Amino acid sequence: MNNANPLLHYEQLIDYARVRIEHLQPAIEQIIADNHSAIDAIIVQQRKLPTWDDLVLAVDALDARLNNTLYSIAPLLLRGGDWQQAASKCWDLAQAYFLQKLQNAELLDLYQRLADSPYGLNLDWQSKTALQRILKSYRLAGAHLAVDQREKLQVLEQQINDGQSTFYDNLTRSSDNWSVHIVDEQRLRGVPLHNRNAMAAAAQAQALDGWLILLEEAAYLAVIEHAHDRDLREQVYRAYQRRGASPAPDFDNGQVFQALANARQEKAQLLGFDNFIRFNLQRREGVSAEQVRAFLADLTRQIQPGLQQEHQQLQDFARQQGLPQVEPWDVAYLRKQLRNTPLSLSEDEVRACFSLDTVVKALVDFARQLFGVVLTEDHSISTWDPDVRAFEVVQDHALLGYLYIDAIGRDGKQADSAWTYYAWNRHIDAEGRYHKAAAALFTSIVPAQGDAAPLLSHLDLRKVFHEFGHCLHHLLVRTSNYHLSDVQNLGPGGVEIAGKLLERWCWSAEYLASISSHNLTGEPLSVQALQTYLGQLQAQEQPKLAVELAKSLFDLDLHGKPDDGRSVLQRVADSFDRAGAWPLADFERPLHAFDHLTAGYEAGYFGYLWADVYAFDLFSRFEQEGLLNQATGRELQEALFAPGAAQSVQVGIEEFLKRPSSAAPFLRWYDLTPS
């Protein structure tokens, strides 16, 4: 082993100060070569009598070594340029290795023989559960197929990978090639100050005077919700709603989605499934296709009356404002104007009370108060960027693992993005050694100007708390098995439940007031002022729910029958119509930038809505017993987080609630009609 390569010490935190580009690919290639040799040896040694330690735990250790290194490399993608190219190559090599491993028919045979043996039949229930998950993963990867079928599957996987890369290339190209240069500040009347400052910084970065509007979520929302200049709203709206769209088929993400859906359908059928939806739900478990469709159909019925009323209300308000025809770029602006009052808090006033330091302290306090988890910042831990903060995670005097918080936007990060890396899985190996968990939280908060602190909007807060929920879920798992500690093995709704739950605290005026602190004076916001502000935001959530519903309907429509002759545009229009969203104009391509369908949520986007329903119900117990009641928090951990993927989320929810789950809190909050 080349000990000079810092990436080859996978059981230790990486010393990023020592990592060079030339370390990346050699490290992954060496680990893959070592793993191939080890697997060959395992197959020979286990042919006579497969055992848990020398088969299951031995292969798990190989997976852990590669995954730990890969997820240590993954943040280096954000450095862009040669770093991004090298890290991407590592990712491709690792994914190819894992696919090849999962298609190894000899390994599948050994796992099956172990499961069927007297030894396997007498394993404890968690080990049996893990073994069944392993068997399923091999079958869903095609290990049981004939050689020619496995080769065909590999071709389809490559087509899917290429299509996903093309999607991002098209999205990046269409976004990067568009901007609006403003020299007359009057055109920005109504836009919050912090957004204008960000636009000014964007202009300065390109040696321009005035302000530059880029195709980023924050700038887009600032203009269409606040700008009094209707022409500017139209200009920005038209561009944003056509991201990823092009008259050239090769550059149009509608064509990419169709090709991806066709390849996924062929893959699913090759593996014995009617369609990709059934394959995906089998892969990640949780619910059936019929349950999902019934859930979305029920939500569609419930949302219609309120949306129809809201549409009429906006039309009436527009006429009162002298606007006879409501265009798509008027809708968000009218919603804001309709609900604004002279005493309302502005977005700038809210942001001023949530600096990044204030919010990180709130996260630390939240974990301590609710779960008894102590997050201690450790400045000796090396990170991939100076803005990244690293914490040791301790509960009941035991070191659980590590948390990285990479919150501030910078070159290389996609603007407005937020995600979590489940870097290390907690497990105990064959020698009885405990391996800690690690998670990394990423958001793209607008950097501060000069010496000022980065400030968070309410949307930023929700994103941070959502990703922190994912991290806590991962860090608070208590299983000892590598597979069962991976919360990504939960169903589409299960993997989102913790993130959606923690968002609920961001809608509590009482909680937000308790953590607020003006960045200059230290004064908190009042509960009453926040109640008014949050009430105005809440009134605008039902139309956003309709868009989320439309996305879920489109996802299932596309992956249910991709070859039924309907175009992507027809499917999008049908989905928005069924969801009751504001009617689409001919030029709109709202889902050509729907990147979740190339990031692991294809045929599973409904999980966000599914998890949201449960999150409201779970949160109702904290509303009754105390928002930071540690006894309630510990019960949540034991019922829902600690089991990891060893039991279904539904079981944990009902165990925590001590009753069957209910959609009533969700429906009340959104002012929907129960069916």
DSSP string, 590-629: TTTT-GGGGTT-TTTTHHHHHHHHHHHHHHHHHHHH-TT-
Q: How far is CA 293 from CA 178, 300, 303, 543, 550, in A?
A: 38, 10, 15, 21, 13
CATH fold match for the domains 6-144 and 274-342+541-623+649-669 = no
- Residue type for 159, please? Q
Residue 284 binned pLDDT confidence (cut-offs 50, 70, 90): low
Exposed e or buried b for every residue in 455-493, given b needs 16+ CB within 10 A?
bbbbbbbbbbbbbbbbbbbbbbbbbbbbbbbbbebbbbb
Q: What pLDDT does 314 receive?
A: 92
d(CA 635, CA 296): 30
Give the closest residue to 402 by CA, choosing from 475, 470, 465: 475
Report the percentage of the chain scoring pLDDT > 70.
99
Q: What pLDDT does 286 receive?
A: 65
What's the whole-number mean pLDDT along residues 556-575?
Answer: 96
| Token pair in block for residue 241 | 């709603």
Q: What pLDDT does 273 receive?
A: 95
What is the dihedral sign for C-alpha 366, 369, 374, 376? positive
d(CA 423, CA 68): 6
CATH for 350-539, among 3.40.50.1360, 1.10.1370.40, 3.40.50.300, 1.25.40.10? 1.10.1370.40
Q: Note the pLDDT tens digit of each residue in 84-127.
A: 999 999 999 999 999 999 999 999 999 999 999 999 999 999 99
HSE, side-chain direction, 13 A CA sphere, residue 420: 25
What's the whole-number mean pLDDT along residues 215-238?
Answer: 95
Number of C-beta neighbours around residue 221 at 10 A: 19
d(CA 354, CA 457): 8
Q: What pLDDT does 675 receive?
A: 56
Q: Note the pLDDT tens digit of each residue in 639-675.
A: 999 999 999 899 999 999 999 999 999 999 998 876 5
Whether 394 shows a pLDDT value over 60: the answer reads yes
Q: What pLDDT does 34 receive?
A: 97
Which residue has tokens 């055992």? 51
Whether 288 shows a pLDDT value over 90: the answer reads no
What's the whole-number mean pLDDT along residues 533-538?
Answer: 93
Exposed e or buried b for every residue in 22-47, given b needs 16+ CB within 10 A?
ebbbebbebbbeebeeebeebbeebe
Helix (H) or strand (E) holding 440: strand 437-445
What's the whole-number mean pLDDT along residues 481-495?
Answer: 90
Q: What pLDDT does 492 receive?
A: 76
Q: What pLDDT does 57 receive?
A: 97
Backbone angles phi and psi of 40, in degrees to 5: -60, -45
Per domain, the residue ranges of the chain are: 6-144, 178-240, 274-342+541-623+649-669, 350-539
| Token pair in block for residue 3 | 């000990």
Which residue has tokens 């290990």? 143
d(CA 18, CA 23): 9
Whether 599 shows a pLDDT value over 90: the answer reads no
Helix (H) or strand (E) holding 283: helix 276-284
Claim: this prediction has a pTM higher than 0.85: yes
Which residue has tokens 């990046």? 172
Tell me how many helices (H) and strands (E) the chain has.
26, 9
What's the whole-number mean pLDDT along residues 445-453?
Answer: 85
Q: What 3-state DSSP class applies to 389?
A: strand
Q: Note the pLDDT tens digit of each residue in 42-51.
A: 999 999 999 9
Under 8 Å between Cβ of 438 and 423: yes
What distance separates the 2 farthest-apart alpha carbons in the chain? Answer: 83
Whether 343 shows a pLDDT value over 70: the answer reads no
Residue 415 binned pLDDT confidence (cut-offs 50, 70, 90): confident
Residue 1 binned pLDDT confidence (cut-offs 50, 70, 90): very low
Residue 10 binned pLDDT confidence (cut-offs 50, 70, 90): confident
What are the E-state strand segments in 351-417? 373-377, 389-395, 398-408
User: Torsion angle of alpha carbons 646, 648, 650, 651, nearest 10°?
Assistant: -50
Under 8 Å between Cβ of 58 and 38: yes
d(CA 50, CA 114): 5
Whether 2 shows a pLDDT value over 70: the answer reads no
Q: How far is CA 410 from CA 347, 356, 444, 445, in A?
A: 23, 15, 7, 9
Q: How far is CA 342 from CA 227, 349, 351, in A?
A: 17, 14, 18
Q: What 3-state DSSP class applies to 410?
A: coil
Whether 490 shows a pLDDT value over 50: the answer reads yes
Q: What pLDDT does 491 receive?
A: 78
Q: What pLDDT does 668 receive?
A: 93
Give the closest residue to 367 by CA, choosing from 355, 376, 357, 379: 376
Whether 285 shows a pLDDT value over 80: the answer reads no
Contacts of 380 (CB under 8 A, 6+ apart): none
What's the whole-number mean pLDDT along residues 272-281?
Answer: 93
Q: What is the mean pLDDT of the chain?
A: 94
Give the closest residue to 632 by CA, choosing from 644, 643, 649, 620: 620
Q: What pLDDT does 340 receive?
A: 75
27-36, 341-350, 427-436: which has the minimum mean pLDDT? 341-350
What's the whole-number mean pLDDT along residues 313-322?
Answer: 92
Exposed e or buried b for every residue in 167-180, given b needs 16+ CB within 10 A?
bbebbeebbeebbb
Domain spanning 274-342+541-623+649-669: CATH superfamily: Neurolysin, domain 3 (1.10.1370.10)
Secondary structure (DSSP) of 500-563: HHHHGGGG-HHHHHHH---TTT-PPPPHHHHHHHHHHHHHTHHHHHHHHHHHHHHHHHHHH-TT
Residue 287 binned pLDDT confidence (cut-offs 50, 70, 90): confident
Domain spanning 6-144: CATH superfamily: Endopeptidase. Chain P; domain 1 (1.20.1050.40)
What's the whole-number mean pLDDT along residues 220-231?
Answer: 96
What's the whole-number mean pLDDT along residues 316-340?
Answer: 91
